Chains A and B, each alone.
Chain A
Amino acid sequence: MPPPTSRSADWLAQAAAVFAKEWRCELRTRYALNTLALFAVTTLVVVSAGLGPLGTSAAEGTPVLPVLLWLILLFAAAAGLPRGFVQEEETHTATALRLAATPSALFCGKLLYGASLMLALEALVAPLFLALVQLEVAAPGLFAATLLAGGYGLAAASTLIAAMIAQARGRSALFAVLAFPITLPLLLLVVELTRNAVAGEPAGGALTQLLLYDATVTVASMMLFPVVWNP
């Protein structure tokens, strides 16, 4: 059940308004889109030039290349996603948001925006990566599910960390310190699942664990966010 509403605007309408505002602002400035795309394409080119089809055998590729794919996604996300709440503080729009929005609806809108941005990033990076390193995926369904659930997990973790560091000094250092324990379990799971997808092996319990991770981070974020966002 969504939390109580502010006046006549209901919780879902608020979350949808935040989501729409985020995309509207992003399409005007293209800051995150450009940062994510530039970082992703640059690292893709470096990886494919260094470890491409000529430099990696199929036997070596299965264990190594999924790690590289998720490192590219992780660092691209880290470059673009954490600005969500930090920018609200830096441009002083946070005060208006604190007064107008229900915290959990605000977080949900930001999270949906981050997840959609991750989805767009994955849609760009994954096909290019597979093509450039000529990596064949034996179980495309599992691969797609891993990208979806892993991308959502990365977006949820990044949005939570961004909210936590937004009002702090030394944000960059704090982001690194918080990101390590929060994203490590996710990365271990998605790398394992991607390896399984490439090799055509079953997901085992890792997919369930990944979905549980996503659910846990989402619920924890909804509970924590009002505390870190408000005085």
Chain B
Amino acid sequence: MPAASLRFTGLRRRFGRLAVLEGVSGAVAEGEALLVTGPNGSGKSTLLRCLAGLLAPDAGTVELTEDGRLLDAAGRRRSVGYVAPDLAFYEELTASENLAFFGRLRGAPPARGQELLARLGLPAERQAGALSSGMRQRLRWVWALLHRPRLLLLDEPFQNLDAGGEAAARALLAEHLAAGGLAVVANPSPLELGRAAPHLALG
């Protein structure tokens, strides 16, 4: 996997008078996962949305570099893999149809979606609306990895997963990091990520 790095400096984001992020900084190098912890409302999800380019920070900078090229917010949106509780899919379509659609948007070959579906044990022909919450979380993982992103942004990534689902997701994360990928993992409590991960505590 080609070189990539992430650095964010002095991020500030307010919602009205409520300051959710105040001067948050951090960096992630190749093959590294940054663990972000903090209680509910401490700004973990807001931080990830700022990093993904889904939310513009009021102040501060986000520098995601891939192949020596600094990506702007639009570039980050197209590039990152994102798993979050607020990520939903078309309930009328099957898991396979959802992945085929997003695969066409992201230029991923159809075989990639099928491979990931099989690895995470998802019923490909079941409508997304009929999936359990654990299966939806597996679908989020498949969706996030579809285009082989270099940066994975994972907001409570093991939420609702059973032991098998969590093991499969952890294996995919480990492969991603071993291949030189980057990850930012947000969770209310500390997580064991299989290697010494830098830690950012919010709140």
Contact with A along B30-55 (1 / 0, CB 8 A): 00000000000000000000001111
Please, which residues of chain B bring their CB within 8 A of the CB of A101? 105
What's the Cα separation between A14 and B104 when bound, in Å? 7
- Tell me the total A-B contact number using a CB cutoff of 8 A: 79
A17 touches which one: B80, B88, B101, B143 (CB < 8 A)? B101
Q: Considering the complex, which residues of chain A in the window 1-34 have a beta carbon less than 8 Å from any beta carbon of chain B?
A: 5-9, 13-14, 17-18, 20-21, 24-25, 28-29
Task: Please state if B77 and A230 are interface contacts (CB–CB under 8 Å).
Answer: yes
CB distance A231 to B104 under 8 Å?
Answer: no
Tell whether B8 is near chain A: CB-to-CB under 8 Å.
Answer: no
Bound Cα distance A29, B90 (Å): 11
A93 touches B105 (CB 8 A): no
CB distance from B133 to the nearest CB of A (A): 14
Q: Which residue of chain B lies nearest to A231 when distances are taken between CB atoms in the complex? A: B56
Interface residues on B, range: 20 to 34
**B73/A100 in contact, CB under 8 A:** no
Interfacial chain A residues near B147, Cβ < 8 Å: 7
User: Which of B91-99, B168-176, B189-197 lies at the binding interface?
Assistant: B91-99
* Bound Cα distance from A91 to B92, whole angstroms: 11
Contact across chains for A7 and B56 when beta carbons are under 8 A apart: no
Tell me the complex Cα distance, A24–B73, Å.
31
Q: Could you say which of B55, B88, B90, B105 contacts A100, with CB atoms under 8 Å apart? A: B105
B92 adjacent to A100 (CB under 8 Å): no
* B112-137 to A contact mask, C-beta < 8 Å, 1/0: 00000000000000000000000000
Q: How far is the CB of B147 from chain A (nearest CB, A)?
A: 6
Contact status of A96 and B87, CB under 8 A, knowing A25-B92, A231-B54, A231-B56: yes
Expressed in whole angstroms, the Cα–Cα distance for A231 and B143 within the complex equals 22
CA distance A20 to B93 in the complex (A): 12
Do the beta carbons of A91 and B105 come within 8 Å of each other?
A: no
Chain A proximity of B194: nearest CB distance (Å): 26
Chain A contact residues: over half helix, strand or loop, or mixed?
helix
| Interface pair A92/B86, CB less than 8 Å apart | yes
Instruction: Flag whether B198 is at the interface (Cβ < 8 A).
Output: no
Q: Is the CB of A7 within 8 A of B54?
A: no
A96→B88 contact, CB < 8 A: yes
Pair A100/B106 contact, Cβ less than 8 Å: yes
Q: Which residues of A contact B82 (CB under 8 A)?
A: 95, 99
Bound-state Cα–Cα, A3 to B84, Å: 29
Q: Does B7 contact A (CB under 8 A)?
A: no
Knowing A95-B84, A98-B54, A98-B77 touch, does A9 contact B105 (C-beta < 8 A)? yes
Is there an interface contact between B84 and A7, defined as CB atoms closer than 8 Å? no
Task: Tell me how far the C-beta of A135 lies from the nearest C-beta in chain B, rounded to whole angstroms.
Answer: 39
Name the interface residues of B61-108: CB closer than 8 Å to any CB of A. Answer: 73-74, 77-78, 80, 82, 84, 86-93, 97, 101-102, 104-108
Q: Decide if B86 touches A95 in the complex (CB within 8 Å).
A: yes
B106 touching A96 by the CB < 8 A rule?
no
A103 to B157, CA, bound (A): 27
A87-138 residues at the B interface, CB under 8 angstroms: 91-93, 95-96, 98-102
With known contacts A7-B78, A230-B73, A231-B54, A96–B104 Cβ distance under 8 A: no
B141-170 interface code vs A (CB 8 A; 1 in, 0 out)? 001000100000000000000000000000
Q: B88 — which chain A residues lie within 8 A by C-beta?
A: 91-93, 95-96
Closest chain B residue to A18 by CB distance?
B105
Contact at B86–A99, with CB atoms within 8 Å? no
A24 neighbours in B (Cβ, 8 Å)? 92-93, 97
Residue contacts A-B, CB under 8 angstroms, 6 given: A21-B90, A93-B88, A95-B54, A96-B143, A98-B54, A231-B53
Q: With A95-B87, A100-B105 given, can you name 14 additional A-B contacts, CB distance below 8 Å? A: A5-B107, A9-B107, A17-B105, A18-B105, A92-B86, A92-B88, A93-B90, A95-B82, A96-B88, A98-B54, A99-B82, A100-B106, A226-B74, A231-B53
User: What are the nearest 8 A-B pairs in CB distance?
Assistant: A8-B107, A9-B107, A92-B88, A7-B107, A17-B104, A28-B92, A100-B105, A6-B78
